[in-house]
Amino acid sequence: MAAKRPTVTIKEVAEAAGVHFSTVSRALSPATRARVNPAIVARVEETARRLGYRANTAASSLRTRRSHMVGLVVPDLASLLFPAILNGIEHTLQEQGYLTIVADTANDPERHRRILSAMVERQVDGLILASAMLHDAVLDEWLDGPAPIVLINRTDDSGRAPAVLSDDLRGIGLAMEHLAGLGHVRIGHVAGPQTLSTGATRRRGFAAAGAALGRRALPVAEAASFSREAGRLACAALLDAHPATTAVVAANDLLALGCYDALTARGLACPGDVSVTGYNDLPLMDLVDPPLTTVRFRHRDMGAEAARLLLARMAGQETAGDVLLRPELVLRGSTAPPSAAVGRGGAGPAAGGRRSPPRARR
Amino acid sequence: MAAKRPTVTIKEVAEAAGVHFSTVSRALSPATRARVNPAIVARVEETARRLGYRANTAASSLRTRRSHMVGLVVPDLASLLFPAILNGIEHTLQEQGYLTIVADTANDPERHRRILSAMVERQVDGLILASAMLHDAVLDEWLDGPAPIVLINRTDDSGRAPAVLSDDLRGIGLAMEHLAGLGHVRIGHVAGPQTLSTGATRRRGFAAAGAALGRRALPVAEAASFSREAGRLACAALLDAHPATTAVVAANDLLALGCYDALTARGLACPGDVSVTGYNDLPLMDLVDPPLTTVRFRHRDMGAEAARLLLARMAGQETAGDVLLRPELVLRGSTAPPSAAVGRGGAGPAAGGRRSPPRARR
DNA sequence: TTGTATGCGTTATCAA
DNA sequence: TTGATAACGCATACAA
């Protein structure tokens, strides 16, 4: 239908409408529209529509230094955690007239550096980074750059950029209380990489919750990455070292799925022999076998909140510190009271507690 | 570290390097670098780095009419199908120096229109659309627009834009042959929306495969959307009308999951009473209960292929027609030979075939 | 309220 | 090989 038009500019609209092009500019911009004769505004809009005028953002961006684009950097696009987060970001931004550039670092710092550079060159007005590491040299280079930065899901240790996070301490606490309430005493943690704030904070949360329950030095196995395979390996190591374990708190859902694999491999049932909890409540976690008990936070809200925070910063407002999303525990089939059975794979030296009956839920 | 620099331009680099700014421009651009004295190139690059120079793409885009940005439009970001596709697109494009703008129409045509407009205004060099409907007025408006378009996952009926698709006819055929090979005769189809090419083509594939097996007029129930809930409803309707059904071919995985729900609701076992197949092989489909037998194609390849196609079109090359990705059947636990049991919920008028023993696998 | 003039940072054409 | 200059499309300070 629309013929391959050779780009129509405000000058052509101006000529067709019989006014000066600066008037067209004013008439078309919501901010200045009020300053021009309503009749002319109507005429300009009509001719603009008729000629199929499309603003050239490159030109206006050059002039105004605002591109109305925001960059989102994620460490792994294929992770099931990001679709919903991206959704929340994108919708919130779109409502305010912003478009979102998305790029994937594939966990590669060099790539991270190139991406940030490319985004800044495209004059993004702000940046949302889901890719922060705890010590992040690349991030550091851009913290004082031209584009305001908001961190999401993970934070770094500089504390120089506001972050939108799940309250991991609380979330892990919820899982621990649930397991303790079920009667578990020998609880282990399959931790995530300690180079990431999620991995480190959840591990701290595990230790803190353990201490609060009067259990110090609960065993921890650290996974090399937040993946199912790494979870399997770490869980196997945990069970090797502590065969009497009756519950494992995994630092995220993928790790928990890996725990399922490790349990299956040694003929243990979940939750019959060992209970497992996850973190994130990824899509379909209610459908896996057994349905995963896990800690949930609203992914979409996390995205929306980060977008709002960035919008505020881009508007020059000072923002308060990090925002912590309140997590909730989703009870499903992967947790149950510890079984009374003993002697499974050489009970540890201090296996006495394992005989205690399940405590009442509190 | 880097101080809040007030944007350094080629002019400042030029002054610091003691050359004219047009020389800086030439020295910094790979295309023209050869035309300038190597010693000067080195000096310019050094000073550019020292001053922290960053190209302003808005300016160069204004001049060259190339933004090195591509727009990707999806109907539903939260769908588990897109992360991998986006991944393939983004990586391929990134290698060629392009950044990807992503937006979500939420299946809203008005929103679709606004998004395309916003992307074109940002001077995207090309568009990849996963959002096409079979009859798509919005798409139609932009088919002759300034940015080349490639369709992905779905196509439209105009045939004016090349598309990268799964070979749905073949894929559904694979599922049908598998079921027939298992001995199923009373096979039903839970179809997707017929306003989408995927829904329509898979339904055609179902009918064609049925005919090839000598079964005409196999029952079909159409789901209102590609969602689990719509699948549940459609499957329930199918079973109401054809209680003797022993296998259902769902038009995608979400629909198949809805079939699980419908079966569970009426106390039927999968695959014991009814076998189910899906389409897409979304993540975690191997972990749901029962693991879903489904048709897979390489999502990441689909993205990469679309990106390559677009790259070619943006380079002015004529491209051949659509590219069809070869699907493969993934055998898992949701399909089995039909049980010999009869009389389940009022057997239909022509229930004779249900007694036939499972045929040997071929 | 509208017109005039200028510049945003870059590339590209033309001379030197 | 390098320098000078114009132009890309738009927004805005200023003048009318």
CA distances from A130 to A303, A315, A351, B58 (A): 10, 21, 42, 26
Domain presence at residue A60: no
pLDDT surpassing 90 at residue B118: yes
- Mean pLDDT of the A273-297 span: 96
Classify A46 in phi/psi space as left (phi over 0), alpha (psi -120 to 50) or beta.
Answer: alpha
Pick from A83, A120, A144: CB nearest B82: A83
Cα B322 from chain centroid (whole Å) = 14
Residue with the larger pLDDT of the pair A352 and A182: A182
- Mean pLDDT of the B238-256 span: 98
Same domain? For B73 and B134 the reply is yes
pLDDT at B320: 83
The reply to whether A67 has its C-beta less than 7 Å from any atom of strand C is no
Same domain? For B211 and B126 the reply is no
pTM: 0.92
pLDDT at A341: 55
Contacts of B143 (CB under 8 A, 6+ apart): B149, B158, B160, B161
Please give the residue of chain A at the shortest CA–CA distance from B286. Answer: A288
Domain presence at residue A305: yes
- Mean pLDDT of the A3-23 span: 87
Q: Which of A65, A102, A128, A289 has the highest number of chain B CBs within 10 A, making it the mutation to test binding with B?
A: A102
Per-residue pLDDT band at A67 (split at 50, 70, 90): very high
Same domain? For B93 and B27 the reply is no
pLDDT at A69: 98
- B31-35's contacts with Cβ under 8 Å and 24+ in sequence apart are none
Same domain? For B183 and B274 the reply is yes
A280 phi/psi in degrees, rounded to 5: 120, -35
pLDDT surpassing 90 at residue B243: yes
- Mean pLDDT of the A282-304 span: 96
Q: How far apart are CA A19 and CA A37, in angstroms?
A: 12
pLDDT surpassing 90 at residue A5: no
Least Cα distance to B236 among B257, B265, B276, B211 occurs for B265
CA/C1' separation B58–D10 (Å): 12
Domain presence at residue B125: yes
Domain presence at residue A236: yes
- Give residue-wise pLDDT tens across range A183-224: 999 999 999 999 999 999 999 999 999 999 999 899 999 999
pLDDT surpassing 80 at residue B159: yes
Q: How far apart are CA B120 and CA B139, in angstroms?
A: 13
Tell me which nucleotides of strand C come within 7 A of a protein CB. Answer: 1-5, 7-13
Same domain? For B257 and B282 the reply is yes
pLDDT at A216: 87
The DSSP call for residue A327 is: P
- Mean pLDDT of the A314-320 span: 90
Mean pLDDT, rounded, of chain B: 92
β-strand pairing of A328-330 with A293-296: antiparallel
Number of domains in chain B: 3
Domain presence at residue B61: no
Please report residues of A whose CB lies closer than 8 A to that of B146.
4-5, 7
- Counting every residue written for chain B, the total comes to 362
Interface of A with B in 106-165 (CB under 8 A): 106, 115, 117-123, 140-142, 144-146
Which of the residue ranges A27-31, A202-206, B216-220 has the most confident prediction, judged by mean pLDDT?
A202-206
pLDDT surpassing 70 at residue A159: yes
Same domain? For B346 and B319 the reply is no
pLDDT surpassing 70 at residue B359: no
- Counting every residue written for chain A, the total comes to 362
- Mean pLDDT of the B241-260 span: 98
Contact B146 A122 (CB under 8 A): no
> What is the DSSP track for A56-78?
-HHHHHHHHS---EEEEEES-TT
Same domain? For B292 and B345 the reply is yes
Q: What are the residue ranges of helices labelled H in chain B?
A: 10-17, 21-28, 38-51, 57-64, 82-95, 109-121, 137-142, 168-182, 197-212, 228-241, 253-265, 299-314
pLDDT at B361: 28
Same domain? For A158 and A79 the reply is yes
Domain that holds residue B217: 168-297+329-360
Per-residue pLDDT band at B340 (split at 50, 70, 90): low
pLDDT surpassing 70 at residue A344: no
Same domain? For B348 and B262 the reply is yes
The answer to whether residue A286 neighbours chain B at the CB level (below 8 Å) is: no
Cα B165 from chain centroid (whole Å) = 8
Same domain? For A129 and A32 the reply is no
CATH number of the domain enclosing B23? 1.10.260
- Mean pLDDT of the B188-201 span: 98
pLDDT surpassing 60 at residue A349: no
Cα B266 from chain centroid (whole Å) = 33
Same domain? For B120 and B99 the reply is yes
pLDDT surpassing 90 at residue A4: no
- Mean pLDDT of the B229-233 span: 98
Residue with the larger pLDDT of the pair B351 and B328: B328
Rounded to a whole number of angstroms, the CA Rg of chain B reads: 27
Per-residue pLDDT band at A41 (split at 50, 70, 90): very high
- Mean pLDDT of the B175-190 span: 97
CATH number of the domain enclosing A76? 3.40.50.2300
The reply to whether A61 has its C-beta less than 7 Å from any atom of strand D is no
CA distance B100 to chain A (A): 5
Same domain? For B336 and B218 the reply is yes
Domain presence at residue B122: yes
* Signed CA dihedral, B299, B250, B293, B210: sign only: negative
CA/C1' separation B306–C7 (Å): 40
Residue at token pair 């990824």: A282
CA/C1' separation B63–D5 (Å): 15
Cα A188 from chain centroid (whole Å) = 25
Contact A2 B145 (CB under 8 A): yes
CA/C1' separation A34–C6 (Å): 24
With distances taken from each CA to the C1' atom of nucleotide D5, the closest residue turns out to be B22
**Residue B185 CB coordination number (10 Å):** 21
pLDDT at B5: 56
CA/C1' separation B56–D13 (Å): 24
**Residue A326 CB coordination number (10 Å):** 11
β-strand pairing of B328-330 with B323-325: unpaired
pLDDT at A342: 46
